[in-house]
Structure 1
Amino acid sequence: MTLPQRRIGTRSVGAIGFGAMSLAGAFGAADDNVSMETLQAAVDAGIDFWDTANIYGMGRSETVVGRFLKQSNADIFLATKVGIIPGPPRRFGNSEDYIRSELEMSLTRLNRDRVELYYIHRRDPQTPVVEVAETMGKLIDEGLIGGWGLSEVAPFTIRQAHAVTPLTAVQNEYSLWSRQPELGVVRTCAQLGITFVPFSPVGRGALSDVDLDPPNFADSDFRKANPRFTEPNWSANMAQIRAFRTLAAARGVPTSALALAWVLAQGDHLIPIPGTRTAKHLSDLVTAASIDLSPADIADIDAVLPAGWAYGDRYSPTQVFGVESYS
């Protein structure tokens, strides 16, 4: 399958990427063999921009991706991340020594000698971002990474970092229920020629046709303590989501595909990275690339899910630690 193409760095990739966090069990139990089938389905669908991180399952996601790449000749634009040091207490590392040592381990798990994109997963306020940019510039010059990015940062950090070593991408949460990037990140990336990579573009599985059961999420599920998935917020959110499902059904498309199509419509410099554990859900998501939303369609969606509609914060106090705030 051929997806519409969008630019990231100097390369064109499919307009829809793949987020591999779920392969490590962050949203329910994962089966590595099923994950391999899902990655093959991504290749077959033309999804050639994949995103993982050293912290996902403490290397499990990278290991699964690396296992797949070792037996495949797929040409994948691969991104991974560094910067979160697991706790307790949770900490962040942005020093050159830490970044280099973690990159070496990531490359080993990924069966690669370089990655196309390397993100700072969270900013360490103790390390000036200009120093981080200089470190990433060295890694680019050495051929260990093709480009670099930042995650969950504010516009002012993007501008400071980009002035030292130009950024390839910025990755923040963005979807119909997480709209903060509209306060400056989406625009800043467009102005500077940086690809904006929305993660969780279908609301961590909420904006879909699947009836989630938050009280019975596994303790390891990231959403278990997330305010939007706890009561009374979850019931209030589901009332809104059901109305959105009705809108998707009227168009004859999966709800997740309509949610993803809305993200794609927010700018040609956006490449969302939805994640899933199964090939079936992946096929629903790919449908988004063929949905052409008119201004009237956007207005209909906005009438059902206007900015700020979601009940509850997108992170719990523990989860939000390290995310840059801005207004």
Structure 2
Amino acid sequence: MKQVSLAGLDVSRIGLGCMGMSAFYTGKNTDEAESIRTIHRAIELGVTLFDTAERYGPFTNEELVGRALAGHRDDVVIASKFGLMSHRTGDSGRSIDGHPDTLRIALDGSLKRLGVDHIDLYYQHRMDPAVPIEDTVGALADLVQAGKIRHIGLSEAAPETIRRAHAVHPITAVQSEYSLWTRDPEAEVLPTLRALGIGFVPYSPLGRGFLTGAITTPADFDDNDSRKGQPRFQGDNFTANLRIVDEVRTVATEAGATPAQVALAWVLTRGDDIAPIPGTKRVSRLEENLAADTLTLTETQLARLTAIEPPTGARYADMSVIGR
């Protein structure tokens, strides 16, 4: 597995997003033993970046990741997140809270669940408009000094927020959705990161599974699958967006690869400061995804993929907390 540097933090250029092992996409098919096998197989294949968050479950995903990585601590980079739950108010639901008191409580909980004494990359999951980013990052900087975290990250942050945060303490990575399904970061976020020397970690690089071609109708989703409520996966939007999968599949046939491998290979060409974290809970999908590390697409194929028109519909039904 090739390596990349996220502002000095060396990681495998393809990581593993662990969210779907415990939350949002799990449906009726949760298999903890298979998830742990997947994490162990990822380590065998050279993956070093593992991504989780307290919100996933909540809490259960960190516990799962902690169990799976026990005995491998020195070989991996653990990334987790805070800020989508309020520990000051006792709200365990979705509640954006970047208050320093909340993050300190959240971090101690994450350390305990993961079974570690520090987290390598600790992200603010969403930006809190009620708390100045300088206050949040200042508290995170104190935790870096205390040795509880090694690197600070932001998730779904806007350029001005990134600049303000970076002025308080160096930001190592920003995590945002990015793929042929979501190109938004290209306009302002990526140029900002490159000007500041900050790494980029795309989540959902397979378009929440859509780019794999495995989803052919909204009926493929279980009732509790979060994608059912997302505009791009509904009605006429879903039908219109199948054109994207068709183009990816065409290139995959030419390249002798799968659509997932082509979609990931495209992301990998977008810079040597990028480490996507495709998520899966199955060994077979993991192995398929990681094969993108050795897939080379022609300039013509890359140009065709890059020219694909954006999907129809918003990413979320409520976009008000995105990109602050």
Whether these two folds match at TM > 0.5 is yes
Alignment partner, residue 314 of structure 1: 315
Alignment partner, residue 283 of structure 2: 279
1:25 equivalenced with 2:23 (yes/no): yes
SS in structure 1 opposite 2:296? coil
Matched residue type, 2:314: D
Matched residue type, 1:207: L
> Residues 18-57 of structure 1: matches in 2 within 5 Å?
18-29=16-27, 30-57=30-57
The one-character-per-residue Cα deviations of 1:174-219 (angstroms, maximum 9, x if unpaired) are 1101011011111111111111111001100010142344224223
**Which stretch of the first structure deviates more once superposed, 270-279 or 290-299?**
290-299
**Which stretch of the first structure deviates more once superposed, 145-154 or 90-99?**
90-99
What is the alpha-carbon distance in structure 2 between the residues aligned to residue 73 and residue 59 of structure 1? 19
The one-character-per-residue Cα deviations of 1:268-305 (angstroms, maximum 9, x if unpaired) are 111111101101111111111112234322212234x2
What is the alpha-carbon distance in structure 2 between the residues aligned to residue 298 and residue 41 of structure 1? 30
What is the alpha-carbon distance in structure 2 between the residues aligned to residue 194 and residue 28 of structure 1? 32
Alignment partner, residue 127 of structure 1: 131
**Which stretch of the first structure deviates more once superposed, 286-295 or 266-275?**
286-295
Pairing partner for 1:103 from 83, 102, 107: 107
What is the alpha-carbon distance in structure 2 between the residues aligned to residue 224 and residue 166 of structure 1? 38
Alignment partner, residue 4 of structure 1: 2
1:89 Cα deviation (Å)? 7.4
The one-character-per-residue Cα deviations of 1:211-238 (angstroms, maximum 9, x if unpaired) are 3442242232120101111111111111
SS in structure 2 opposite 1:146? strand
Alignment partner, residue 264 of structure 2: 260
Alignment partner, residue 61 of structure 2: 61
1:193 equivalenced with 2:197 (yes/no): yes
Matched residue type, 2:122: Y
Alpha carbons of structure 1 residues 124 and 235: separation in structure 2 relative to 1, 3 Å? same
What is the alpha-carbon distance in structure 2 between the residues aligned to residue 316 and residue 277 of structure 1? 26
What is the alpha-carbon distance in structure 1 between the residues aligned to residue 216 and residue 147 of structure 2? 43
Equivalent pair of 1:26/1:221 in contact (CA under 8 Å): yes
What is the alpha-carbon distance in structure 2 between the residues aligned to residue 186 and residue 271 of structure 1? 13
> Residues 146-157 of structure 1: matches in 2 within 5 Å?
146-157=150-161
Alpha carbons of structure 1 residues 73 and 84: separation in structure 2 relative to 1, 3 Å? closer
SS in structure 2 opposite 1:158? helix
1:74 Cα deviation (Å)? 6.0
What is the alpha-carbon distance in structure 1 between the residues aligned to residue 151 and residue 9 of structure 2? 11
Matched residue type, 1:97: D
1:251 equivalenced with 2:252 (yes/no): no
Identity of aligned residues (%): 38
Alignment coverage as a number of residue pairs: 318
Matched residue type, 2:5: R
**Which stretch of the first structure deviates more once superposed, 291-300 or 45-54?**
291-300
Matched residue type, 1:67: R
TM-score by length of 1: 0.93
SS in structure 2 opposite 1:203? coil
Alpha carbons of structure 1 residues 324 and 302: separation in structure 2 relative to 1, 3 Å? closer
Matched residue type, 1:197: V
What is the alpha-carbon distance in structure 2 between the residues aligned to residue 73 and residue 119 of structure 1? 19
Equivalent pair of 1:28/1:217 in contact (CA under 8 Å): no
1:88 Cα deviation (Å)? 9.1
**Which stretch of the first structure deviates more once superposed, 158-167 or 66-75?**
66-75
**Structure 1 runs not aligned, ≥5 long:** none
What is the alpha-carbon distance in structure 2 between the residues aligned to residue 125 and residue 99 of structure 1? 15
**Which stretch of the first structure deviates more once superposed, 275-284 or 238-247?**
238-247
Matched residue type, 1:19: G
Equivalent pair of 1:209/1:254 in contact (CA under 8 Å): no
1:114 Cα deviation (Å)? 0.4
What is the alpha-carbon distance in structure 2 between the residues aligned to residue 216 and residue 17 of structure 1? 26
Alignment partner, residue 116 of structure 2: 112
Q: CA RMSD in A?
A: 1.7
Alignment partner, residue 79 of structure 1: 79
What is the alpha-carbon distance in structure 1 between the residues aligned to residue 96 and residue 244 of structure 2? 36
What is the alpha-carbon distance in structure 2 between the residues aligned to residue 60 and residue 88 of structure 1? 13
SS in structure 2 opposite 1:207? helix
1:96 Cα deviation (Å)? 1.2
What is the alpha-carbon distance in structure 1 between the residues aligned to residue 22 and residue 185 of structure 2? 27
What is the alpha-carbon distance in structure 1 between the residues aligned to residue 115 and residue 236 of structure 2? 45
Equivalent pair of 2:82/2:107 in contact (CA under 8 Å): yes
What is the alpha-carbon distance in structure 1 between the residues aligned to residue 135 and residue 23 of structure 2? 34
